[in-house]
Amino acid sequence: MEIELSQSGGFAPVPPAMRHVVIETERLQMAASTRLVGLVDDADLAGRPAEAPVPSGAADYRTFTLTVTGEGTVNRTITFTDLDDDPVLTELVRTISSLAATPPSPDDPEGAA
């Protein structure tokens, strides 16, 4: 499974390394891969609108675009904001960001993600 997460907007700048992250679950350690796939499953991307509505007058919010592709998964792209009070999406973004920030292991010179 390949997971892409792009971030833009918000009051505080997004660090360049976190603006666009691509993670291939097959390249992660088993525990991290299982957790990430579980969060994607819990997020039920197929049941979500392609783009979440933004409240009128909202400002300084961060926008996320999440794309999931791969065999055995629903290939889907959704766009949402940090205004969405969704604990599953929040945890998914947090986990992806954490995995992307993890330094490569000595066994994998290209990195965990």
pLDDT computed for residue 83 by the predictor: 86
pLDDT computed for residue 102 by the predictor: 74
pLDDT computed for residue 109 by the predictor: 46
pLDDT computed for residue 57 by the predictor: 83
Task: Give residue limits of the domains in the chain.
Answer: 2-101
pLDDT computed for residue 103 by the predictor: 60
For 20-64, the three-class secondary structure string (H helix, E strand, C coil) is EEEEEHHHCCHHHHHHHHHHHHHHCHHHCCCECCCCCCCCCCEEE
* CB contact set of 52 (below 8 Å; sequence gap of 6+): 78, 79, 80, 81, 84
pLDDT tens-place values along the chain, 113 residues long:
999 999 887 665 555 556 789 999 999 999 999 999 999 999 999 999 999 888 888 877 888 999 999 877 779 999 999 888 899 999 999 999 889 887 655 455 444 44
